[in-house]
Amino acid sequence: MAGFIGNVSARRAELAIPLPGRVVGAHGRHYMVELEDGSILHCHPRGKKSNLACGDRVQVHRTGSDRGAIDLVHERTSLLYRSDRHREKIIAANVTQVAVVVAARPSFYEDLLVRCLVAAEHQKLRALIVVNKADLVEETAQTMQRLQAYAHLGYGLLQLSAKRDVSPLRPALAGHISVLVGQSGMGKSTIVKALVPEAAVAIGEISVALDSGKHTTASTRLYRQDSDSAIIDSPGMQTFGLHHLTQPELVDAFPEFRPLAGGCRFNDCRHTVEPGCAIASAVEEGRIDRWRWDAYRTLAEELARKAPAWS
């Protein structure tokens, strides 16, 4: 009896030990946490509310052989998320790079691309544009030509066919925790499966009639490539709200605007219609592309409608 009691006490002590880990899977209030030894615990957070994200560094304790509870979330170095008038949707935490996946077919939304890049800039993350389905030679050539403007702004731009050869992407991912974002049907899950063959990723069919992809990733999942690199596959999206940004943050998220933003006639210039705007002058002189200013003004108007005044 004494031995049995001792074993129970030892087991209780083992379950109470705090364990460091990282969230590698997120679906609702269910999280997969990878411990330092590589084992996985299926965890739930304490309390009713949960705002954890894939990539979060946490402290957990075991509640069973493969179960656990999340006790603590450590401070984040970055948080990629989107927001609208009603709610925020966390995508990933502690990433160092955002890889926006686009393709010539189905048609990608350039507005979504701009918004993803703005969100990356807001968090000071490296941004990469991945043009998938390069086997569609003619269409991809047109897409690459269309995207050269982003390369001129300093964004990484590469093309590949994930179904044939994903190796062009590997050097760009090395040393980074990268999150793959983009609309459904662009081939994010195909890229993940090519990079991590053992990944349990469902590859979806493209709905030609709707000119968009069916959602195949309902949850967010982190896959390690090596000790210094990992990729996070996120659900496909059709919109990317930026209601969490202030107007100054939005200006700062356009890299070509930064050197000029302080040179306007009025200190509170919103860089939309005000006289003496340094950014508007640069547009007129051809130093800033007009389409970028138009994209900024669309987003600025959206932010202006969220509240009576700029925050």
- What are the tens digits of pLDDT across the range 230-280? 999 998 888 899 999 999 999 999 999 999 988 999 999 999 989 999 999
* Torsion from C-alpha of 281, 287, 290, 291, nearest 10 degrees: -140
- What are the tens digits of pLDDT across the range 56-100? 999 999 999 899 999 999 999 999 999 987 788 899 999 999 999
Residue 79 pLDDT: 96
What is each CA distance from 278 to 256, 282, 302, in whole angstroms? 12, 6, 22
Per-residue pLDDT at 123 exceeds 70:
yes
Amino acid at site 67: R
Detail the DSSP E strand segments found in the chain.
Answer: 19-27, 30-35, 40-45, 57-62, 67-73, 79-83, 88-93, 97-103, 126-132, 156-159, 177-181, 206-207, 212-213, 220-226, 229-233
Residue 147 · residue 131 · CB < 8 Å: yes
Residue 47 pLDDT: 74
Protein fold of 2-73: OB fold (Dihydrolipoamide Acetyltransferase, E2P) (2.40.50)
Residue 50 pLDDT: 77
DSSP, res 167: G
Amino acid at site 121: E
| Calpha distance 239→241 (Å, rounded) | 6
Q: Which CATH superfamily includes the segment(s) 79-233? A: P-loop containing nucleotide triphosphate hydrolases (3.40.50.300)
Percentage of the chain modeled with pLDDT above 70: 86
Residues 6+ apart with CB under 8 A from 9: none
Choice between 219 and 295, residue whose per-residue pLDDT is larger: 295
| Alpha helices (H) in 55-129, listed in sequence order | 110-122
| Calpha distance 21→34 (Å, rounded) | 5
pLDDT band at 200 (very low <50, low <70, confident <90, very high): low
Residue 5 pLDDT: 52
Q: How far is CA 273 from the centre of its chain?
A: 32
| Calpha distance 99→168 (Å, rounded) | 13
Give domain limits for the chain. 2-73, 79-233, 247-304
Per-residue pLDDT at 168 exceeds 90:
yes
Choice between 214 and 190, residue whose per-residue pLDDT is larger: 190
> Bridge partners of 212?
207
Query: What mean pLDDT comes out for the span 12-24?
Result: 79
> Bridge partners of 35?
21
Per-residue pLDDT at 114 exceeds 60:
yes
Residue 286 pLDDT: 95
Choice between 293 and 1, residue whose per-residue pLDDT is larger: 293
Return the structure tokens found at 3.
Answer: 């031995």
Task: Supply the mean pLDDT for the chain.
Answer: 87
Q: Among the CATH numbers 1.50.10.20, 1.10.40.50, 3.10.20.30, 1.10.3720.10, which is that of 247-304?
A: 1.10.40.50
Residue 100 · residue 110 · CB < 8 Å: no
| Calpha distance 98→92 (Å, rounded) | 10
Residue 143 pLDDT: 94
* Torsion from C-alpha of 133, 135, 141, 142, nearest 10 degrees: -60
Element (H, E) at 267: none
Per-residue pLDDT at 169 exceeds 90:
yes
Per-residue pLDDT at 208 exceeds 50:
no
| Calpha distance 99→232 (Å, rounded) | 10
Return the structure tokens found at 89.
Answer: 């949707």
- What are the tens digits of pLDDT across the range 25-62? 988 888 999 999 999 999 998 876 678 999 999 999 99
Residue 308 pLDDT: 47
| Alpha helices (H) in 96-246, listed in sequence order | 110-122, 137-152, 170-173, 188-195
Residue 231 · residue 263 · CB < 8 Å: no
pLDDT band at 3 (very low <50, low <70, confident <90, very high): low
Residue 218 pLDDT: 57
Torsion sign across C-alpha atoms 214, 155, 179, 292: negative
Residue 190 · residue 162 · CB < 8 Å: yes
